[in-house]
Structure 1
Amino acid sequence: MTAPVLEIALLQVRPGQTPAFEAAFAQAQSLIAGMPGYVRHDLQRCLEDDHRYALLVWWETLEAHTVGFRGSPQYQEWRALLHHFYDPFPTVEHFVDVTPGRLPPS
């Protein structure tokens, strides 16, 4: 098995909207978790700026995110629930683990 792809999105939430964002995310996370190729996710809030979050989503392949999820009706629901909270709109990047000496997942 190949290493999963890590999607990282740094989210800047509009001032005063963090409680509403976290509530909406609690609802939205089931949309992403049910997608083919989804592995797991974490949402982390920044200690230095409580309106900044890091969304980490692991996928089996890049296409599971970029084609599968983004091309799905679930993405449209995700977008409706969450995208209005962001200013500016987040940049999303994808990474693979290249840690020296780490064994690949079995």
Structure 2
Amino acid sequence: MVLEIAILQVKEGLSLQFESDFAVASQFIESIPGYVNHSLRKCIEEENKYLLLVNWEKLEDHTVGFRESEAYLEWKRLLHHYYNPFPVVEHYEMVLESKK
């Protein structure tokens, strides 16, 4: 499994609308083969900052399957105008996981 991480800086004053549009956009990412799950977390210390975590079965499910899909175009249309600066997206693989 691959974890996609993106830190999202949302333009000031748009957080509530972003959260609403993100809920709608979620259906598009969820429709992609290889998608496992995702969560959006809001930063406690810094207003308008979010953390997007998406689990994929393999890297290409995101970089090819999602990014080259019609679903991505809808995701992009709904969400990309909220970001400043545009987020850096990184991918991670598991090294160690605690079960406690």
Shorter-chain TM-score tier: over 0.9
CA apart distance, 1:101? 7.5
How does 1:30-45 map onto structure 2 within 5 Å?
30-45=27-42
CA distance in 2, matches of 1:78, 1:101: 33
Distance 1:48 1:37, change over 3 A: same
Residues 1:91 and 2:88 aligned together: yes
Q: How many residues align?
A: 99
**Unaligned regions of 5+ residues in structure 2, if any?**
none
CA distance in 2, matches of 1:100, 1:37: 21
Give the equivalent residue in structure 2 for 1:25. 22
Give the one of 2, 8, 13 matched to 2:5. 8
CA distance in 1, matches of 2:75, 2:34: 17
Distance 1:101 1:71, change over 3 A: same
CA distance in 1, matches of 2:61, 2:44: 31
**Runs ≥4 residues deviating over 3 A:** none
Structure 1 residue identity aligned to 2:77: A
Give the equivalent residue in structure 2 for 1:62. 59
Give the equivalent residue in structure 1 for 2:47. 50
TM-score (norm 1): 0.90
Bigger Rg over Cα: 1
The RMSD of aligned alpha carbons is 1.2
